[in-house]
Structure 1
Amino acid sequence: MFTGIIQAIGHLQHSQPRSGDVRLTVHTGELPLAGVALGDSIAVNGVCLTAVALTGAGFSADVSRETLALTTLGSLSIGNRVNLEPALTLATPLGGHLVSGHVDGVGTVRERHADARSWRLRIEAPAELARYIAPKGSICVDGTSLTVNQVDGAAFELNIVPHTAAHTIIGAYQVGTRVNLEVDLIARYLERLLLGEQAAVSAMPSALTREFLQQHGFK
């Protein structure tokens, strides 16, 4: 688990194809590694990765085909900067919100403009994630815990304060930038709970619909 509070910016140092998947080596910059051991989790642009080797200045992690397909990690180039956060502990202040490091989909930055000292971003999410995104709710963008300002269909708006812009890769976003998205855990589990016993039926649709809710007594 993570908090969505980025601890450092690193960069991709090496990418090695391995029998269909990839081993990435990340230079962790100012992220302290003294307490990191093999097998520990580190979020890279919001993706929970397991450290399989420690290099002194960073770590290596294996990235499965599933992760490559559903996140932006497969499109990283050597030198690309990445947001980093080590797994939280019981002593970690929960300054953001609970983040699992399991990316739900990839969104695209559609607009960016200045708003006083902040930046306003408009990001378009995959259509299947729209139902999980609510005004003033939480969303994780490339590992960063952010508050949704407004929602318009599958698009949502964010306000990026100067500190966030300076201490994460969000400050370098441009129109067209693809970003990893993780929706709020509560919304994800609430949908599953509403299915009740029907959740065990394999023929059930993967998402709740208005028709399904009406058939089961929800108005």
Structure 2
Amino acid sequence: MFTGIIEHLGRISSVETVGGDRRMRFEAPGYLKGSGLGDSIAVNGVCLTATDFSDDHFHADLSGETCNLTTAGAWKAGQTVNLERALTPAKPLGGHLVSGHVDGIGKLISRHEEARSWRMLFEAPADLARYIARKGSICIDGISLTVNEVEGSRFGVNIIPHTLAHTTLGGLAAGDAVNLEVDQIARYLERLLAARNEA
């Protein structure tokens, strides 16, 4: 589990194909101390397992399914990524509960300045739109955000200067793809209501 509060900006230093899957090396100098082999690390919202480790970098294997269902299939060497280590009992839950299991790929429709912040409009896949609610939580590229407004499959968020400076959101342009993870409570609620209706 994760919180959606980005801890560090890392960089992809290599991408290679191994047996049909992909293996990537992520650089994060000074960030990985205290972490270890087999730890879960969210990279742009995708939960990955560290398969090779040092204080400054880790490797992860990405299956074909992960590459097909997330933006990881388009990741390239030199790209900056959002990093968060798994939640521990001592870690504050400053965002919301995030699994690191991406639900789908959305895209940025537009962005504009509003005072010192940026307003961003995203579009979600139609099958995910029903889980997105005004003032609810959404995870975009691993970042926990509050939904400001919803219209159909499009939703808006407000990005404060701190988030722009410490995540990859500041580098997004209209048309860019992003990983989306909807609020888990919405998914569980839908399942509970469906089960009650079936009964």
Q: How would you bin the TM-score normalised by the shorter chain? A: over 0.9
Query: Is the Cα–Cα contact under 8 Å of residues 9 and 29 in structure 1 kept in the other structure?
Result: no
State the number of aligned residues: 199
Alpha-carbon distance in 2 for matches of 1:161, 1:151: 19
Alpha-carbon distance in 2 for matches of 1:128, 1:164: 28
Corresponding residue of 1:166: 165
Q: Deviations for 1:37-57, whole angstroms, at most 9, x for unmatched residues?
A: 111000000000000001442
Q: Does 1:14 align with 2:14?
A: yes
Query: Is the Cα–Cα contact under 8 Å of residues 33 and 55 in structure 2 kept in the other structure?
Result: no
Query: Is the Cα–Cα contact under 8 Å of residues 51 and 61 in structure 1 kept in the other structure?
Result: yes
Query: Is the Cα–Cα contact under 8 Å of residues 9 and 30 in structure 1 kept in the other structure?
Result: no
Corresponding residue of 1:201: none
* Counterpart residue identity of residue 48, structure 2: L
CA shift, 1:29, in A, is 3.9
Where in structure 1 are there 5+ consecutive unaligned residues? 198-212
- More strand by percentage: 2
Corresponding residue of 1:200: none
TM-score w.r.t. the length of structure 1 is 0.88
SS in 2 for 1:136: coil
Corresponding residue of 1:2: 2
Question: 1:6-45 counterparts in 2 under 5 A?
Answer: 6-31=6-31, 33-45=32-44
Corresponding residue of 1:194: 193
Alpha-carbon distance in 2 for matches of 1:170, 1:117: 15
SS in 2 for 1:66: helix
SS in 1 for 2:112: strand
SS in 2 for 1:90: coil
* Counterpart residue identity of residue 183, structure 1: V
Q: Does 1:111 align with 2:110?
A: yes
Alpha-carbon distance in 1 for matches of 2:55, 2:152: 45
* Counterpart residue identity of residue 131, structure 2: Y
Corresponding residue of 1:80: 79
Corresponding residue of 1:120: 119
Alpha-carbon distance in 2 for matches of 1:160, 1:100: 22
Query: Is the Cα–Cα contact under 8 Å of residues 8 and 30 in structure 1 kept in the other structure?
Result: no
* Counterpart residue identity of residue 36, structure 2: A
RMSD: 1.4
Query: Is the Cα–Cα contact under 8 Å of residues 8 and 29 in structure 1 kept in the other structure?
Result: no
Corresponding residue of 1:210: none
SS in 2 for 1:52: strand
Alpha-carbon distance in 1 for matches of 2:100, 2:29: 20
SS in 2 for 1:108: strand
Question: 1:139-218 counterparts in 2 under 5 A?
Answer: 139-196=138-195
Q: Deviations for 1:63-110, whole angstroms, at most 9, x for unmatched residues?
A: 111110110011011101000000010000000000000000000000
Query: Is the Cα–Cα contact under 8 Å of residues 47 and 99 in structure 2 kept in the other structure?
Result: yes
CA shift, 1:30, in A, is 4.6
Corresponding residue of 1:65: 64
SS in 1 for 2:113: strand
Corresponding residue of 2:136: 137
Where in structure 2 are there 5+ consecutive unaligned residues? none
* Counterpart residue identity of residue 4, structure 1: G
SS in 1 for 2:130: helix
The 4+ residue runs of structure 1 with deviation greater than 2 A are: none
SS in 2 for 1:195: helix
SS in 1 for 2:97: coil
